[in-house]
Amino acid sequence: AQKVTQAQTEISVVEKEDVTLDCVYETRDTTYYLFWYKQPPSGELVFLIRRNSFDEQNEISGRYSWNFQKSTSSFNFTITASQVVDSAVYFCALSGYSTLTFGKGTMLLVSP
Amino acid sequence: EAGVAQSPRYKIIEKRQSVAFWCNPISGHATLYWYQQILGQGPKLLIQFQNNGVVDDSQLPKDRFSAERLKGVDSTLKIQPAKLEDSAVYLCASSSGGGTGYEQYFGPGTRLTVT
């Protein structure tokens, strides 16, 4: 069985602070994919990134960056210089040979 | 390109009543998913279609839930009879491929309240 743990239930920061959202996963599959999705108050899940298990290269997209470490089974997400519009629930998800499994999500509140 | 469409956006029913949700995926996407998201949790897959065939319905409570995708495009999810614990957001998603590595694109969801 596969499992995704997002230990941080809620994080509050002030605008312009950097924030890291943690994601730890468990799987026995040798090939798997990791995802991050954003769910703003409107409710629609928005795809942010996908990584496959063979690609541990970190990725940066604007203010967003992702750190994938197989040794610790982690796929952490950092937002640099956070903005109010970043306020949302962020989900980490995993798919191996079976369907997509989501973590419980981390609610990020960015105040002005 | 239009996104995944869902209707209705909100529905309130009494327990033991029936309800149906509709989903129209992104044009050309062969794979369609229905998820249930209970407040404070991540989405849980109910059923996955590849064209009009079912790929995975292992977590669908088949005694009360049913889904169909007759022409391989639109899909309907039905609950009959509804229970209080069915109160949740029902999300539809689609992807261009059926493999587990494809990113899924989600609709706005239908928020169901069962009283």
DSSP run (H or E) holding B41: none
Q: Quick check: A104 and B103 CB within 8 A?
A: no
DSSP-assigned states of every residue in A2-48: -EEE---SEEEEETT--EEE--EEE---SS-EEEEEEE-TT---EEE
Cα–Cα distance for residue pair B51/A101, rounded to 1 Å: 22
Looking at the partner chain, which of A33, A44, A95 has a beta carbon nearest the beta carbon of B106? A44
pLDDT digits (tens, 9 = 90+) for A13-61: 999 999 999 999 999 998 999 999 999 988 899 999 999 998 888 888 8
Cα–Cα distance for residue pair B73/A111, rounded to 1 Å: 42
Distances (CA, A) of A83 to A59, A61, B18: 20, 15, 42
Q: Quick check: A104 and B43 CB within 8 A?
A: no
Cα–Cα distance for residue pair B2/A96, rounded to 1 Å: 29
For residue A56, the model assigns a pLDDT of 84
Q: Which residues of chain B have pLDDT under 70?
A: 1
Q: Quick check: A98 and B100 CB within 8 A?
A: yes
Which chain B residues are within 8 Å of A91, Cβ to Cβ? Answer: 42-43
